[in-house]
């Protein structure tokens, strides 16, 4: 058996190997449908006597088994099955055999030529090339080999739908790479040599994923969420259901890090219909070294969907503004000259109070003496 890759030197197998190949061909002739193309030989460059050309190739399609519709925030597995719908396009005689040995070579070649529709070494990946709100967690899958009319074993891909995904149908791309036998030649009966030429093909197939309407949440900080460094205060967060279905048993939670601390990290929101909002309150302690600026605190929402399943939203960020403590006199607006005026005014008021009180006591005593 001679094997050669394009551009490489010609290689010839040993007589023992040729006998093994001859046995394999014999089994192929007596047992139609054997798995001849499970293993792809190395390509050759120069053919021996070539009697026939059979034109065709594999044609793979893909189908999703089971459900292909999910809700926002859902993680699941989609199962894809490949089908080989390859067929023969034509037949051509290159050379008529001259004698019985050549007739045997030609018969063996013709039998093998019909393997042109078999896809071998199928490699499959699922990709998101259209910015769909879907994460794909699974990598390369092996699809094996498929003859025409055969179906692959189910291929499983783990995916996750973004929590804020809008309802609709999204397209993922299934990338296929496989080889198929484009040409074969047989020569030298009874010590036959088999020459092959395999072609690599890349194919892309669309996979459609439906996203059902769901609850989608957004958060906004309240203007009163201004906390003092070194103090404890209340963080107000407004959660709004901007999705299209009701969310039940809604529980919001926050996750804090330095410079914040809390033991009050959950808030029960109840039932939120589409468009509804709820203001949650969390007690937050702010570190004394916290920078005076707007910080972000991570928050998420856990709820029950219309099927009774528990869902968790994407992580969101709630803004919280930290300010430095303001001295009392600055909060009263008393600085500089105004402080002096205030002190003089206070002293004057005190003196007047003392004088009036003294005058009142003096007059009252005078009246008592007259009686």
Which residues, 6 or more positions from 14, have their beta carbon under 8 angstroms from its beta carbon? none
List all residues 6 or more positions away from 291 whose beta carbon is below 8 Å from its beta carbon: 259, 322
Q: Could you give the CA distance from residue 89 to residue 118 in angstroms, rounded to a whole number? A: 14
Query: How deeply is 222 buried, as exposed, middle or buried, from its count of CB atoms within 10 A (0-12, 13-18, 19+)?
Result: middle
Tell me if the bond preceding 259 is cis, omega within 30° of 0: yes
Higher pLDDT among residues 324 and 269, named by residue: 269
Locate 83 and state its tokens: 């089908």
Question: Across residues 201-205, what is the average pLDDT?
Answer: 94
Of 39, 62, 57, 56, the C-alpha closest to 176 is 62
List the structure tokens of 222: 């309240």
8 Å CB contact between 141 and 125: yes
Paired sense of beta strands 75-84 and 60-65, if any: antiparallel
Q: For the ranges 27-41, 44-58, 194-208, 287-301, which has the lowest average pLDDT?
A: 27-41
* Mean pLDDT for all residues in the chain: 77
Upper half-sphere CA count for residue 7 (Cβ side, 13 Å): 0
Residue with the bigger pLDDT between 113 and 62: it is 62
Band of residue 327 on the pLDDT scale cut at 50, 70, 90: low
Q: Tell me whether domains 2-212 and 217-328 share a fold.
A: yes
The structural domains of the chain, with segments of one domain joined by +, span 2-212, 217-328
Residue 119 pLDDT > 70: yes
Q: Residue 274: helix, strand or coil by DSSP?
A: coil
Residue 323: is it exposed, middle or buried by C-beta count within 10 angstroms (0-12/13-18/19+)?
A: middle
Residues 331-355, mean pLDDT to the nearest whole number? 72
Q: What angle do CA 322, 267, 240 make, to 5 degrees?
A: 80
Under DSSP, is residue 178 helix (H, G, I), strand (E, B) or coil? Answer: strand
Tokens of 255: 């996750």
| Tokens found for residue 151 | 């179906």
State residue 280's pLDDT score. 92
Mutual angle of helices 100-113 and 15-30, in 10-degree steps: 70
Checking if the pLDDT of 45 tops 50, the result is: no
* Residues in CB range of 209: below 8 A, 6 or more apart: 68, 69, 70, 78, 132, 134, 159, 169, 170, 171, 172
Q: What percent of the chain has pLDDT over 70?
A: 68
Collapsing DSSP states into helix, strand and coil, what is residue 113? helix
Q: What mean pLDDT is predicted for residues 121-143? A: 94
* Top-ranked range on mean pLDDT: pick from 67-76, 214-223, 258-267: 258-267
Label residue 333 by pLDDT band (50, 70, 90): low
Cis, bond preceding 190 (omega within 30 deg of 0) = yes
Site of tokens 């890090």: 257
Q: What number of other Cβ atoms are within 10 A of residue 310's Cβ?
A: 11
- Listed range (55-59, 175-179, 336-340) with the worst mean pLDDT: 336-340
Q: Which tens digit of pLDDT belongs to each residue from 137-149?
A: 999 999 998 999 9
pLDDT of residue 22: 38
- Taking 90 as the threshold, does the pLDDT of residue 248 lie above it? yes
Amino acid 98: pLDDT: 66
pLDDT at 10: 30
How many CA atoms are closer than 13 Å to the CA of 329, on its beta-carbon side?
9
205: pLDDT strictly greater than 90: yes
The arithmetic mean of pLDDT across residues 33-59, rounded, is 59
pLDDT class of 24 with cuts at 50, 70, 90 = very low
* Phi, psi torsion values for 129, nearest 5 degrees: -100, 0
So what CATH class is 217-328? mainly beta
Instruction: Tell me the pLDDT tens digit for each residue of 216-231.
Output: 889 876 645 678 888 8
> May I ask the CATH class of domain 2-212?
mainly beta
Q: How confident is the model at residue 169 (pLDDT cuts 50, 70, 90)?
A: very high
| Contact partners, residue 223, CB within 8 Å, separation at least 6 | none
């Amino acid at each position: 058996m001679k094997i050669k890759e394009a551009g490489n030197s010609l290689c010839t197998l040993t007589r023992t190997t040729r006998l093994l190949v001859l046995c394999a061909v014999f089994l192929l002739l007596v047992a139609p449908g054997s798995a001849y193309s499970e293993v792809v030989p190395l390509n050759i460059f120069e053919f021996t006597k070539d009697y026939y050309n059979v034109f065709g190739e594999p044609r793979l399609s893909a189908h999703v088994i089971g459900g292909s519709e999910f809700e926002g925030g859902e993680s699941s597995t989609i199962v894809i099955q490949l089908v080989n719908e390859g067929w023969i396009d034509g037949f051509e005689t290159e050379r008529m055999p001259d004698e019985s040995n050549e007739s045997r070579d030609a018969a063996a070649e013709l039998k093998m030529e019909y393997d042109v529709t078999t896809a071998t070494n199928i490699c499959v990946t699922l990709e998101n090339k259209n910015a769909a709100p879907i994460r794909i967690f699974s990598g390369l899958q092996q699809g094996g080999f498929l003859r025409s009319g055969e179906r692959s074993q189910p291929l499983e891909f783990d995916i996750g739908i973004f929590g804020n995904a809008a309802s609709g149908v999204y397209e993922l791309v299934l990338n296929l790479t496989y080889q198929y036998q484009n040409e074969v030649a047989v020569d030298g009966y009874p010590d036959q040599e088999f020459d092959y030429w395999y072609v690599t093909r890349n194919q892309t197939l669309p996979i459609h994923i439906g996203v059902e309407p769901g609850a989608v949440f957004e958060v906004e900080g309240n203007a009163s969420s201004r906390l003092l460094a070194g103090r404890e205060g209340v963080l107000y967060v407004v959660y709004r259901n901007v999705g299209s279905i009701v969310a039940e048993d809604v529980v919001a939670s926050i996750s804090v890090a330095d410079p914040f601390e809390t033991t009050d990290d959950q808030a029960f929101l109840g039932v939120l219909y589409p468009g509804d909002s709820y203001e949650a309150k969390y007690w937050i302690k702010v570190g004394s070294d916290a920078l005076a600026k707007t910080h972000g605190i991570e928050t998420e929402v856990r709820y029950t969907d219309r099927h009774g399943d528990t869902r968790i939203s994407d992580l969101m960020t709630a803004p919280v503004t930290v300010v430095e403590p303001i001295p009392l006199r600055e909060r009263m607006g008393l600085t500089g000259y105004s402080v002096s005026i205030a002190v003089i005014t206070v002293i004057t008021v005190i003196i007047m109070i003392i004088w009036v009180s003294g005058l009142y006591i003096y007059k009252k005593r005078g009246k008592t003496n007259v009686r």
